[in-house]
Amino acid sequence: MVDLRATQAHLVQVTMNIPDASAGTEIQIPTWNCLYQIRDFVKNVQDMKDDCDGQPAELNREDLNTWRGPNRSCSDLAFHYSVYAAADGPFDSMLDGHHSFLNLAMILFYLPRERNRPVYVKFHVPAGWKLASCLEGEGDEFQAANYDALVDSPVEAGHFEDFAYTQGFIPTGASAADIKRATIRLIIDADRADYSPGRILSSIQKITTEETTLMQDLPFHRYTFVLHFPRDGGSTGGMEHRDGAAIAIPASALHDNEGYLESIVAHEFFHAWNVKRIRPQSLEPVDYINGNDTRDLWLCEGVTNAYAQLVLLRADLLDRNTFYARVAGAMEILQSRNGRRFQSAETSGREAWLEKYSDYNRSQRSISYYNKGELLGYLLDLGVRHASQNLAGLDDVMRRLNQDFARRGRFYTFADFRSIITQLAPTFDTNRFFEDYVQGTRELDYLTYLGYAGLLLATHVAELPLPGFSATRNSVGLLQVDSVDDGSAAQRAGLEPGDVLISADGDPLPAGPNPTLPSWRPTQTVELRIVREGKTHVLRFRIGVNRQISFQIEEDPQARPEQLRVREGWLKGATNSSSGNR
């Protein structure tokens, strides 16, 4: 029983009943879920008590995350506790006077020895609130096959708006009589002035139709998008679940960043297959305490990124030039990160657990498996299409993974994935691709792979000034140094945070009403006069160089027919094999 009525205190009050509990029954709460980050959910659990058949009972804390009931069996063992829920966003839990969004792994315990037992949960909500979840159930009561399924469904309660449409799907080559149907629900909790349901429904419907057709599958009866468009506060992003997704983007981004919501929707919905059903063995069984050691996140997340963009293009929500610009943008991100020289795509995913530390995210330390994985998705697709003369592409690989593993309830290994590629494109050098690009850190050969599709790559290097420090206007209107880059010439010359700038090369600073640093040229020497603790100092150093690479992808007007086949196949999701093999 989950009681959401203590909204002012942000306390979710829980009673966990265990029928026919054996002596010494233990309950445990995960340290993580949703994000690949150990977040110690126990930190929000308070006031734990238990009773056995209605009588207060002995309670032992076994370790940080585990409690143990009495040393006798109970026909009804009940644990009572509260969870402080005051963090908004798709990965967290919140209860306040406006709404509640729950990541149930933060709220509910499991039985470590019986995690596969069917579970049932009943909610009590404040008067007038509605309740929505991806779980099967009626009213305020839901059931799940086991704890894993239970916590793979977010819960939203409050005054949201509810929209739905029917997604139909006829397998290629089948007749209209074979149509399958599912309900797609949109639960929208946002200010009605900030969004247009018509626009959102129309673009989401294009995406779900395109992805269902791509995967040749409609693997659920109902799928639920929980959407928040906050005006301020809370974390934003998207979180996939087996039969739904929770998405939060700032209301301002809905207006200013057209296509942003669609990109997230296309990504999360593709996860209904890739990662939720097409699932690597390395993520199973879920280790809720220590996390799972997985090297497959470049494929789970990065390739999902690639599909999000391809699907938007194929669904006419994106034009070709914007698609090319986004691919080039992803290339620019990878090439700007020095961490790519020693961190492979595989290792990046394995080290996802470190992303909660801000210094891990420095470009000198790490790359993103979302980013490099997206590029690997494009390259792999182009490589397979080139090697097979566009008889097969990555779409076929994903469909095979779905048929051979997801639909048979099996998890795949990396070896399975490679073997499917080899079967579909025997002349593609799968080993080399994975050794160089997935497990290794060889620079991606964009020219060759884009060339397979008759695409040209223009590279432009801009040399921008890198002063090696930053300064902002202080309370008396002077420019004051707020940070100095490690290893910069400014640092070697002795510049320190807190120094107040007086002049540069003899010209007084700040100049003008809106003080900013002068626009220096790369490598020029500057002489700064500064004041520190009442004393004037003169520092002389060279402005550094920030080499920014930008890429532009263009269609080669002289592309040969075999290149055009690969290009059209890639962009449209088609192959040259017999129709019906889609």
Shortest Å distance, C-beta 340 to Zn ion: 21
Shortest Å distance, C-beta 162 to Zn ion: 12
Per DSSP (E only), the strands in 125-193 are 130-133, 136-138, 141-144, 155-158, 161-169, 180-189
**Stretch binding Zn ion (CB under 5 A), from 189-197, 380-388, 402-410, 459-467:** 189-197
Nearer to Zn ion, 155 or 481 (CB): 155
By CB under 5 A, residue 211 contacts Zn ion: no
Running DSSP on this structure, what letter comes out for residue 143?
E
Structural contact between residues 121 and 136, judged by C-beta atoms closer than 8 angstroms: no
Distance CA 327, CA 323 (A): 6
Nearer to Zn ion, 101 or 195 (CB): 101
**Stretch binding Zn ion (CB under 5 A), from 186-194, 209-217, 398-406, 489-497:** 186-194
Nearer to Zn ion, 101 or 446 (CB): 101
CA distances from residue 554 to 16, 389, 458, 574 in whole angstroms, order as listed: 60, 21, 8, 21
Shortest Å distance, C-beta 324 to Zn ion: 23
CA distances from residue 256 to 234, 441, 477, 503 in whole angstroms, order as listed: 19, 37, 32, 39
Distance CA 125, CA 123 (A): 6
Shortest Å distance, C-beta 160 to Zn ion: 6
**Residue 131 — φ and ψ, nearest 5°?**
-135, 140
Shortest Å distance, C-beta 73 to Zn ion: 41
**Stretch binding Zn ion (CB under 5 A), from 111-119, 205-213, 299-307, 408-416:** 299-307
Structural contact between residues 378 and 302, judged by C-beta atoms closer than 8 angstroms: no
Distance CA 93, CA 89 (A): 7
Nearer to Zn ion, 157 or 490 (CB): 157
Nearer to Zn ion, 378 or 469 (CB): 378
Running DSSP on this structure, what letter comes out for residue 512?
S
The one among 99, 241, 279, 385 contacting Zn ion by CB under 5 A: 99
Distance CA 298, CA 345 (A): 6
**Stretch binding Zn ion (CB under 5 A), from 91-99, 287-295, 453-461, 501-509:** 91-99
Nearer to Zn ion, 261 or 530 (CB): 261
301-330 residues in contact with Zn ion (CB under 5 A) are 301
Nearer to Zn ion, 79 or 270 (CB): 270
Shortest Å distance, C-beta 304 to Zn ion: 5
Distance CA 351, CA 343 (A): 10
SS3 for 458? strand
Per rule CB under 5 A, count of chain residues that contact Zn ion: 5
Q: Residue 339 carries which side chain, given as an amino acid letter?
A: G
Shortest Å distance, C-beta 156 to Zn ion: 5
Nearer to Zn ion, 101 or 123 (CB): 101
In sequence order, which residues have a C-beta less than 8 Å from that of residue 471 and are 6 or more positions away? 479, 480, 481, 482, 501, 517
Shortest Å distance, C-beta 101 to Zn ion: 5
Nearer to Zn ion, 283 or 539 (CB): 283
Shortest Å distance, C-beta 226 to Zn ion: 7
Shortest Å distance, C-beta 133 to Zn ion: 12
Structural contact between residues 536 and 529, judged by C-beta atoms closer than 8 angstroms: yes
**Stretch binding Zn ion (CB under 5 A), from 95-103, 192-200, 308-316, 414-422:** 95-103
134-163 residues in contact with Zn ion (CB under 5 A) are 158
Q: Give the number of other Cβ atoms within 10 Å of residue 416's Cβ.
A: 16
Shortest Å distance, C-beta 135 to Zn ion: 17
In sequence order, which residues have a C-beta less than 8 Å from that of residue 460 and are 6 or more positions away? 549, 550, 551, 552
The one among 92, 189, 243, 499 contacting Zn ion by CB under 5 A: 189
**Residue 326 — φ and ψ, nearest 5°?**
-70, -40
Distance CA 433, CA 442 (A): 10
Residues near Zn ion (CB under 5 A): 99, 101, 158, 189, 301
